[in-house]
Chain A
C-alpha cells in the first residue's frame, strides 16, 4: 500500500478539473453544466487542502480558503438554480441554447 503523496492529490485534482471543464463545454443541460462547475471548484478545493497538508502543515490558510469556497459554491448554486428555474418557466426547457435569448 503506497502512502498517498502530494503528486497523487494533484493528479486527482487535475483529473477532476478537466472532467469538469469537459462537462461544462459539452453538456447542453444547464443543471449538468452547474454540476461540472462544482467539479472544477472541488478540484481547486482539493489543491488547497493538498498543498496545505504537504507543504505548510503548520498553517491553516488553505483549510479556511476551502471552507470559504464551499460556502460560496453553495450560494452560487442557489443563484444558478434560481436562474435555471426561471428559464424553465419561460422556455419550458433548460437547454443552454435557450439561454442565448438573454443576450437581447
Chain B
C-alpha cells in the first residue's frame, strides 16, 4: 500500500511555502523566496514521481486492473450516516498522472520565474501565490470527495484571480481578474447545484461510493435519480450537465470561454502554469473523474460534453488565426486543445476498446501540458526580450534567441501533430476515437487540426522569421540559465512524451488498453497539418502583403473572427441591455421603493404620530388635570348611558 504521509506532503509542501512566503516573505525572504518556493516544489515533484512510480509499477495493479486506492481519508464534517465531507486522497491512474503533470509543470514555471520575475517588487508575494495555486491544484486532483474537489476548485479559482490581477496597478489586469472570477464563479454555481443533485440521489458525497451507486441500475440511488425528471430530462442527466457547466467554466469551453484570453494579463509564467497547462484542464479532469457515471448512466450528458468540446475547438481555432497578440493566440489555442480533450471524452464509451477516447483525452492532456507550457514560456522569453505582446513588433528573432527558437519550433510541431512529436500521438488517438463513434465531430476535429497547424506556424514565422529584426535598447540575452533550462526540459518532454504507451496506464476501466497505430488513418490529419504549415510559411515567412490581401478577400469572415465572433459584445449586450434592464433595474426599483419604502414608512409613521401626541405631554400640571377630569367625565357618561 502507498504511504499516505508522502502523498499528503505533495500538496502540503506548497501550502507551507505559501504560508511562509505569504506571511514572512516581504520581511525575511525578500531575495530568497524564489529559491525557497522552488526547493519545496522540487521535493513535491520528487514525491509525486515516486508516488506515480509506486502506483503504476508496484501496488496500483490488482489482477491487471488499476485500482482506485484511498490511502488517506479524514472525516471533516459529518452530516448524517454516510454523508460527510472528507478530506482524503484518492489514487487512481488519472490522479497519479495529474500529480506528476502539475508538480512538473509547476516546478518548471517556478524555475523559469526565477529569471523572468527577477527584480520584481513583489517577488515573495508572487511565489506565495504560485504555492497557493499549486497546493489547490494538487488538492483538487487527489480529492476523494466531491465536496472536497469543490473546495479546492474554488481555491484554484481564487489563486487564479490573484495571479491574473498580479499587476494590480494595470486597469486591464484588474478588469481581467474580475472577469475571470465572475465567469468561473457563475459556472461554479452550476457545479454546486450538480453536486447537490447527484449527492441527494446517491446519498453520499464520497466519489467511489457515488460512482458505484450511480452506475449500477439496481441501486435505490440510481432509480430515484433516473426516475425524477425536470422538463423531460432525468435528474441524473441534469446533475451531470450542471457539473459539466462548472467544468466548462473552468476549462474555458464555449460559451464560457471569454475570461481565458483576458486572463493573459497575468505574468507569462502564470499563463503557462494556470491558463494553459494545469488549471484549465480541471474541467476535463472533473469529467474524467465522473466519467463512469457519464458514460454508463447518461449518454446524453456525455454527448453534450462532446459537442460543446467540438464547437469550442473549432471556434477557438478560427479566432486564433486572426489575433495579433501572441499570448492571445496561445490562449485560443489552449481553448481549442481543451476542446479536443472534451470531445474525446464525449465520444468515448466506458471500458475496453470503446474507451479509447478516455485514454486519448488524458494522453492529450498530458502532452498538451508539456508543449503548451513550453509555448507560453517561449512566448515569455520573446516578450521578455521585446517588451511587447504584439506580433508586429517581432520578426527575425531566430538569430537573437536561438534556444527559444528551437524549443518553440518543437512545441509548434508537437501541437500541429507532426510525427514524431508528442501532439501527433495523442491527436491521432483522439481523431481515431472520434472517427469510430461520431463522424460529425471527426470532421470538425480534422478541420481544426489543419487550422491549428496554420495558426501555430503563423505565430512561429511572425516571431522568428518575417521581417528583419530591429532590436533596440539593451540586450539582455535570452534570460539566463533559469529561463532556458525549463524550456529545454519541456522541449524534451514535448518531443518524446508521445512514445509513452499511455493506454497501458490510463484507461476508462483501469484495464490495459492497446493503442494500435494506423498508418493509413494518420495520412489525412498529417497531410492537413503539413498543408497548414506550408500555407503559413508561404504567407508569413517573408514580409509581404499576401496576408493583407487574403484578409481583404475574406472581409466579412475575417472581421468576425478578428472580433472573436462578437461573443464579448453579445455578453455585454445581454448583461447590460437585457439583464440590467429586465432584472437589475426592476429589482433596484423594488428595493428602493418597496423594501426601503416599508422601512421608511415605519420610521416616518412613528415620527409623525409622535409629533401629534407630543403636544399632550406639555409638563403643565393643570393641563394634565383637565385631561384627567374630561376623561373621567367621559368614562362616567360611557358607563352610565352606554355600558348598562
Residues in chain A within 8 A of chain B (CB atoms): 21, 24-25, 33, 96-97, 99-103
Say whether A96 contacts B626, CB under 8 Å: no
CB contacts (< 8 Å) of A101 on chain B: these are 619
Say whether A25 contacts B617, CB under 8 Å: no
Most buried by A among B618, B621, B626, B629: B621
Would you give the shortest CB distance from A100 to chain B, in whole angstroms?
4
CB contacts (< 8 Å) of A21 on chain B: these are 629
The docked-state distance in angstroms from the alpha carbon of A90 to that of B85 is 74
**Taking CB as reference atom, which chain A residue is nearest B620?**
A100
CB contacts (< 8 Å) of B617 on chain A: these are 103
Q: B516 on the interface (CB 8 Å rule)?
A: no
CB contacts (< 8 Å) of B629 on chain A: these are 21
Question: Nearest 6 CB-CB pairs, A to B?
Answer: A103-B619, A100-B619, A25-B622, A96-B621, A24-B625, A100-B620
**Taking CB as reference atom, which chain B residue is nearest A36?**
B625
Give the residues from 591 to 634 in chain B that come closer than 8 angstroms, CB to CB, to chain A.
617-622, 625-626, 629
CB contacts (< 8 Å) of A25 on chain B: these are 622, 625-626
Partner of A100, one of B618, B625, B626: B618
Say whether B619 contacts A96, CB under 8 Å: no
CB contacts (< 8 Å) of A33 on chain B: these are 621-622
Contact sample, A vs B, 10 pairs, CB 8 Å cutoff? A21-B629, A24-B625, A25-B622, A33-B621, A96-B622, A99-B619, A99-B621, A100-B619, A103-B618, A103-B619
Would you give the shortest CB distance from A48 to chain B, in whole angstroms?
19
Interface majority SS (helix, strand, loop, mixed), chain B: helix
The docked-state distance in angstroms from the alpha carbon of A100 to that of B623 is 11
Most buried by A among B617, B620, B622: B622
CB contacts (< 8 Å) of A100 on chain B: these are 618-620
The docked-state distance in angstroms from the alpha carbon of A42 to that of B155 is 87
**Taking CB as reference atom, which chain B residue is nearest A25?**
B622
Interface string of B543-563 (1 = CB under 8 A from A): 000000000000000000000
The docked-state distance in angstroms from the alpha carbon of A95 to that of B629 is 22
The docked-state distance in angstroms from the alpha carbon of A103 to that of B614 is 12
The docked-state distance in angstroms from the alpha carbon of A97 to that of B621 is 9
Would you give the shortest CB distance from A28 to chain B, in whole angstroms?
9
**Taking CB as reference atom, which chain B residue is nearest A28?**
B622
The docked-state distance in angstroms from the alpha carbon of A25 to that of B628 is 12
CB contacts (< 8 Å) of B620 on chain A: these are 96-97, 100
Would you give the shortest CB distance from B332 to chain A, in whole angstroms?
76
The docked-state distance in angstroms from the alpha carbon of A102 to that of B620 is 10
Would you give the shortest CB distance from A75 to chain B, in whole angstroms?
19
Would you give the shortest CB distance from B633 to chain A, in whole angstroms?
11
CB contacts (< 8 Å) of B625 on chain A: these are 24-25
CB contacts (< 8 Å) of A102 on chain B: these are 619
Interface string of B413-439 (1 = CB under 8 A from A): 000000000000000000000000000
The docked-state distance in angstroms from the alpha carbon of A102 to that of B617 is 12
CB contacts (< 8 Å) of B619 on chain A: these are 99-103
Would you give the shortest CB distance from A104 to chain B, in whole angstroms?
8
The docked-state distance in angstroms from the alpha carbon of A102 to that of B619 is 7
**Taking CB as reference atom, which chain B residue is nearest A104?**
B619
The docked-state distance in angstroms from the alpha carbon of A72 to that of B34 is 92
Would you give the shortest CB distance from B620 to chain A, in whole angstroms?
6
Besides the known contacts A21-B629, A96-B622, 13 further A-B residue pairs in the complex with CB atoms under 8 A apart: A24-B625, A25-B625, A25-B626, A33-B621, A33-B622, A96-B621, A97-B620, A99-B619, A99-B621, A100-B618, A101-B619, A103-B617, A103-B619
The docked-state distance in angstroms from the alpha carbon of A25 to that of B626 is 8
Would you give the shortest CB distance from B624 to chain A, in whole angstroms?
11
The docked-state distance in angstroms from the alpha carbon of A77 to that of B293 is 94
Would you give the shortest CB distance from B329 to chain A, in whole angstroms?
79
Would you give the shortest CB distance from A60 to chain B, in whole angstroms?
28
**Taking CB as reference atom, which chain A residue is nearest B622?**
A25
The docked-state distance in angstroms from the alpha carbon of A24 to that of B622 is 7
The docked-state distance in angstroms from the alpha carbon of A99 to that of B621 is 8
The docked-state distance in angstroms from the alpha carbon of A100 to that of B625 is 14
**Taking CB as reference atom, which chain B residue is nearest A37?**
B625
The docked-state distance in angstroms from the alpha carbon of A97 to that of B623 is 11
The docked-state distance in angstroms from the alpha carbon of A97 to that of B620 is 7
Would you give the shortest CB distance from B599 to chain A, in whole angstroms?
31
Interface string of B132-165 (1 = CB under 8 A from A): 0000000000000000000000000000000000
The docked-state distance in angstroms from the alpha carbon of A8 to that of B620 is 36
The docked-state distance in angstroms from the alpha carbon of A54 to that of B617 is 43
Would you give the shortest CB distance from A40 to chain B, in whole angstroms?
11
Would you give the shortest CB distance from A18 to chain B, in whole angstroms?
11
Would you give the shortest CB distance from B626 to chain A, in whole angstroms?
7
Give the residues from 52 to 87 in chain B that come closer than 8 angstroms, CB to CB, to chain A.
none
The docked-state distance in angstroms from the alpha carbon of A70 to that of B186 is 84
Would you give the shortest CB distance from B616 to chain A, in whole angstroms?
12
CB contacts (< 8 Å) of A97 on chain B: these are 620
CB contacts (< 8 Å) of B626 on chain A: these are 25
CB contacts (< 8 Å) of A96 on chain B: these are 620-622
The docked-state distance in angstroms from the alpha carbon of A21 to that of B617 is 21
Would you give the shortest CB distance from B47 to chain A, in whole angstroms?
78
**Taking CB as reference atom, which chain B residue is nearest A99?**
B621
The docked-state distance in angstroms from the alpha carbon of A33 to that of B625 is 11
**Taking CB as reference atom, which chain A residue is nearest B626?**
A25
Would you give the shortest CB distance from A97 to chain B, in whole angstroms?
8
The docked-state distance in angstroms from the alpha carbon of A75 to that of B120 is 89
Would you give the shortest CB distance from A44 to chain B, in whole angstroms?
14
The docked-state distance in angstroms from the alpha carbon of A24 to that of B620 is 12
The docked-state distance in angstroms from the alpha carbon of A69 to that of B275 is 95
The docked-state distance in angstroms from the alpha carbon of A96 to that of B624 is 12
CB contacts (< 8 Å) of A103 on chain B: these are 617-619
CB contacts (< 8 Å) of B618 on chain A: these are 100, 103
The docked-state distance in angstroms from the alpha carbon of A21 to that of B620 is 16
CB contacts (< 8 Å) of A99 on chain B: these are 619, 621
Give the residues from 233 to 280 in chain B that come closer than 8 angstroms, CB to CB, to chain A.
none
The docked-state distance in angstroms from the alpha carbon of A21 to that of B622 is 10
Would you give the shortest CB distance from A23 to chain B, in whole angstroms?
11
Would you give the shortest CB distance from A47 to chain B, in whole angstroms?
15
**Taking CB as reference atom, which chain A residue is nearest B618?**
A100
**Taking CB as reference atom, which chain B residue is nearest A24?**
B625
The docked-state distance in angstroms from the alpha carbon of A21 to that of B630 is 12
Would you give the shortest CB distance from A87 to chain B, in whole angstroms?
12
The docked-state distance in angstroms from the alpha carbon of A55 to that of B618 is 44
**Taking CB as reference atom, which chain B residue is nearest A97?**
B620
The docked-state distance in angstroms from the alpha carbon of A25 to that of B621 is 9
Interface string of B571-597 (1 = CB under 8 A from A): 000000000000000000000000000
